[in-house]
Amino acid sequence: MPWNRPQALPLPVPMNPNFALPAVNFFMADVGGGLGAFLSTWLAGAAGWTPEKVGTVLAAGSIVGAVLAGPAGALVDRVARPRLLLAIACGTIVAGTLPLLPARAFWAVLAAQVVVSAGGRWEGRASAG
């Protein structure tokens, strides 16, 4: 008796550009900006940080994002594969977010926030390009 291989189920979500790009933008919207209010609430509550420390970390991420906005757009315009840049940017955001889980030291959180903000600028420009 021949063995019949089960048929693969169709994907429930259409993976076309009209759905995939808005989905990436939706899920990366808050994370790409450097975690914003979620990070400040967590640092003040769980880590017991003062408002000055929290503000410094958030400001550093915003400054890095503002400085990198122009170069990120120029790079996306010159590269022939913006999807690759989008994947790298998303990986950078994840790489910057994961150290935040155990981090409580000021410099560790500051470095992670800068990496997340930098990845967010690349992600925003790559998804628009």
Under 8 Å CB-to-CB from 47, ≥6 apart: which residues? 104, 109
Specify the pLDDT at position 63. Answer: 92
Of 119 and 6, which is predicted with more confidence? 119
**Domain housing 51:** 31-128
Q: Is residue 38 part of a domain?
A: yes
How many structural domains is the chain composed of? 1
Q: Is residue 116 part of a domain?
A: yes
Q: Is residue 92 part of a domain?
A: yes
* Percent of the residues in the chain that have a pLDDT greater than 90, as a whole number: 7
Alpha helices in 2-105 (DSSP H): 17-32, 36-45, 51-78, 82-97
Q: Which of 20-24, 39-43, 57-61, 106-110 has the lowest mean pLDDT?
A: 20-24
Structure tokens at 44: 């003040």
Of 105 and 80, which is predicted with more confidence? 105
Q: Is residue 64 part of a domain?
A: yes
What is the value of pTM for the model shown?
Answer: 0.74
Q: Does the pLDDT at position 67 exceed 70?
A: yes
One-letter amino acid identity for 1? M
Whether the CB-CB separation of 37 and 89 falls below 8 Å is answered with no
Per-residue confidence band for 107, with pLDDT thresholds at 50, 70 and 90: very high
One-letter amino acid identity for 59? A
Q: Is residue 18 part of a domain?
A: no
Q: Does the pLDDT at position 48 exceed 60?
A: yes
